[in-house]
Amino acid sequence: MSRRAQQLAAAVDGRRVAVVHEWVDAYAGSEQVFEALAQLLPDADLFALSVTPGIALDVGERTITTTALDSDRWRDRRGLTLPAMPWAWRRLGRRDYDLVITSHHAFAHANRLTRPGGTHLAYVHSPARYIWSPDIDERGGGAGLAPARALLKRVDRKASRQVDAYAVNSVAVADRVREFWGRETTVINPPVRVEFFAEGRAESPRRDYVLGMGRWIPYKNLHLVVEAADQLGMPVKIAGRGPDRSRIEAAAAAASVPVELIESPDDHELRDLYAHAACLVFPTVEDFGMVPVEAQATGTPVVALAAGGALETVVDGVSGAFAPDASPDALAAAARRAMSLDGDGPAENAERFSQQAFDDAASSWIVDSLGARA
């Protein structure tokens, strides 16, 4: 056990602890943070808004307690339940935990699990993008939803006042929390399975295609990866799954280069896809974005927008290249620069985001926060 882990164990000894997550829908970035926090606190009770069956998290033998929104009817209609989420958290009604750590990206910090005088900490992936940043995530856009967004913003600000200390996954999210909630934060980059992906690194990889990876939803812009690869005259592979498949297929039908869609690759398949790509093109603004780090761990350079979490995960001219905008022309030009890079820059850059780095930083944050409340 590391020194920081020993300090954490001593700090929480004798306390009733809960770890809370927004919802478990995939084994994606926020779920991996929830898993890591649960592993740091092996005696904590676990909560989530809902849990999709079949998602395997390594949390020991613990059961995740869920809310009234955890049903087959609502899991795939989450957008319709947004106004009910604060109510669902409050309806849990348990207020006897000495320490609650919430993994938040919608309304999870509205939970009332902390006893009076206890400590509520929250790790924020982003303030709810549906209501605060519809320019980034179009799922919350539209003039017709403006009144609902205004109401939910008031609810969200009120909930933010019951949290004693915040951590965030990137400087970009720290700026949003300061703007939207008026709170200062500690930046702790999320854990990435750097060692696992580094194991897939090949000495002389076959780098003959452009890769796009992520959920197939509109704001990920994966159709633009196809269009950029078409300009480069290179085959393209798009990995992931989701409802935006038809738009990607339309871009593929219009392209003059081979396009392969790979739905729901497992971890080993994904590692191999990263390791043999000429570059990963990541044309979206993410709060942090684990995918670029995973690709870099295999030695593959990344093309990203000069915005959001990519400003922390990609080093322009060393581990990849920034595009000034998400147009196919700009992405293709950045890809040419990225593919011309030599050396170990991508793999060396990825090492900054290891599981151990997260564990140490998160442990220190929890211990220091408890000390400040003592």
The pLDDT assigned to 143 comes to 53
The pLDDT assigned to 28 comes to 85
The pLDDT assigned to 76 comes to 76
Q: pLDDT tens digits, the chain, 374 residues: what are they?
A: 688 889 999 999 999 999 999 999 888 889 999 999 999 999 999 999 999 998 989 999 999 999 999 988 887 777 778 788 999 998 887 779 999 999 999 999 999 999 999 999 999 999 998 888 877 655 545 555 678 888 899 999 999 999 999 999 999 999 999 999 999 999 999 999 999 999 988 776 778 999 999 999 998 999 999 999 999 999 999 999 999 999 999 999 999 999 999 999 999 999 999 999 999 999 999 989 999 999 999 999 999 999 999 999 999 999 999 999 999 999 999 999 999 998 899 999 999 999 999 999 999 999 999 987 76
CATH of span 194-352: 3.40.50.2000
The pLDDT assigned to 231 comes to 98
State both tokens at 347: 């793999």
Give the separation between CA 46 and CA 48, rounded to whole angstroms.
Answer: 7
CATH of span 3-191+354-373: 3.40.50.2000
The pLDDT assigned to 214 comes to 94
The ranges of the chain annotated as CATH 3.40.50.2000 are 3-191+354-373, 194-352
